[in-house]
Amino acid sequence: MLPIERQVKIKEYLVEKGFASVEDLSKLFNVSEMTIRRDLDELHKQGLIQRIYGGAMANDPAFFEMSVIAKSTQFSHEKEKIGQAAAELVNDGETILMDSGTTTLEIAKNLKYKKITLITNALNVAIELAVCPQIEIIVAGGILRKAVLNTVGPQTESFINDVRVDKAFIGVEGVHPDTGISVPDLLNAHSKRVMMSIAHQSIVVADHSKLGRNTTNKIASLEDVDMIITDSKADPSIVKQLQEKTFVKIIE
Domain of residue 222 covers 71-251
190 and 129 within one domain: yes
- pLDDT tens, position by position, 5-42: 888 889 888 877 778 899 999 999 999 999 999 999 98
Of the listed ranges 59-63, 81-85, 129-133, 144-148, the least confidently predicted one is 59-63
In a domain, 149, yes or no: yes
50 and 138 within one domain: no
pLDDT at position 252 over 50: yes
What are the CA-CA distances from residue 32 to residues 25, 41, 234, 240, 244 (Å)?
Answer: 9, 14, 39, 48, 52
* CB half-sphere exposure, 107, CA atoms < 13 A: 32
Highest mean pLDDT pick, 46-55, 88-97, 101-110:
88-97
pLDDT value at residue 61: 52
136 and 81 within one domain: yes
- Percentage of the chain modeled with pLDDT above 90: 69
**Average pLDDT score over residue span 53-59:** 80
Helix (H, G, I), strand (E, B) or coil at 52: strand
- State the pTM of this model: 0.73
Alpha-carbon gap, residue 144 to 34, rounded angstroms = 34
197 and 131 within one domain: yes
Number of domains in the chain: 2
Read off the CATH number of the domain in which 226 is found: 3.40.50.1360
237 and 141 within one domain: yes
Alpha-carbon gap, residue 38 to 198, rounded angstroms = 49
Residue 161, C-beta contacts closer than 8 angstroms, at least 6 positions apart: 194, 197, 198
In a domain, 66, yes or no: no
108 and 32 within one domain: no
pLDDT at position 168 over 60: yes
- pLDDT tens, position by position, 206-221: 999 899 988 888 999 9
